[in-house]
Amino acid sequence: MKKVLIGRVLPDEVYVSLQGLDVMRRDETQPMSGEEMRAALRDYDGVMCTLGDQFSAEVFADVPDARCKVLANFGVGYNHIDVAAAKAAGITVTNTPGAVTDATADIAMTLMLMSARRAGEGERLVRSGAWRGWHPTQMLGMHLTGKSVGIVGMGRIGQAIARRCHFGFGMSVRYFGRNEKLLDFDAIFHSDLKDMAAHVDVLVTAVPGSPETHHLIDAEVMHAMRPHARLINIARGDVVEQAALVDALERGVIGGAGLDVYEFEPEVPQALRDLDNVALLPHMGTSTGEVRVDMGRMVVENLQSFLRGDVPPNPV
């Protein structure tokens, strides 16, 4: 019987689909330590890992004859795994695309509305007991309907965000990416990110984390944005240069931001937390019960398929 490690606590509904495997549950919410990752490679045939489990080239090198032959990542993003080093070690890496698309797009819209309409600031005002009632100039924000949105990365999630903006809010859509795409809605392609940033009211990141996208949104991009524009990051924290964002928000270079991810999470700098013109969420883009169960079942199917000798559904 194949032995697998489930490296993080999962919804109860997922475990029943692990029948036929010798399962070790690591019912923790925090990432695996370096020693735990090395032991996982050494002692198990397959491992479920997820965000924060830093399977680096060094970790793989320390276990030269790994028993583990499949790392089934819980999540679509896998920049915490050195995939090239894994493949060199004879280890297949899988992920869970598709299951996260709509939930992540929904959280982008949540942050867009929170930032544009100052919802976080308003909630804090009510909770503080300092609200003195409605008046005509109270907490004036930005009307989102009819504005323009720029999507950085027009993959599955980028397209889902764009459709919500276009069909739901009547927004004009622009996008930046490697290539122009055939879409089922009107959108303007930009090959220059700063040029797109200068033309939109909301800039939304929807790219995977990688060396190529590290600090893709830097001080130059923010300075190209309009003074009232909002920056929304639901991709990976280091896609946005965090120090430059804090500076841009403090000096009013941009109108506001909405963040679900952070460059050094779970650390969120005090300077960012002190600002009223940024909405902050705790990396909850896929945090619905249905989505997490679907993700877990995709992980299990990737494990089961590989361990019975088939090609897994979602290799990376």
- Quick one: pLDDT at residue 11? 94
205 to each of 112, 135, 224, 283, 307, how far by Cα in Å?
A: 12, 35, 15, 14, 36
Known catalytic residues are 236, 265, 283
248 contacts 88 by C-beta, under 8 angstroms: no
219 to each of 121, 177, 190, 236, how far by Cα in Å?
A: 25, 19, 19, 17
Cα 146–155–78 angle (5° rounding)?
Answer: 130
Low-confidence spans in the chain with pLDDT less than 70: none
Closest among 7, 154, 166, 165 to 71, alpha carbons compared: 7
| Rounded-to-integer distance, Cα 67 and Cα 42, Å | 5
- Quick one: pLDDT at residue 98? 87
Amino acid at residue number 250: E
Neighbours of 185 (CB within 10 A): 11
pTM for the whole thing? 0.91
- Quick one: pLDDT at residue 26? 96
Q: Give 172's strand partners.
A: 148
* Strand, coil or helix: 17: helix
| Rounded-to-integer distance, Cα 98 and Cα 76, Å | 8
For residue 84, give the H/E element and its range.
Answer: helix 83-88
Q: DSSP string spanning 153-175?
A: --SHHHHHHHHIIIIIH--EEEE
- Quick one: pLDDT at residue 139? 94
- Quick one: pLDDT at residue 232? 98
Sort strands 172-176 and 3-6 into parallel, antiparallel or unpaired: unpaired
Domains, the chain? 3-99+289-307 (3.40.50.720), 101-280 (3.40.50.720)
Q: What would the pLDDT profile of 126-184 be if each residue is shown by its tens digit?
A: 999 999 999 999 999 999 999 999 999 999 999 999 999 999 999 999 999 999 999 99
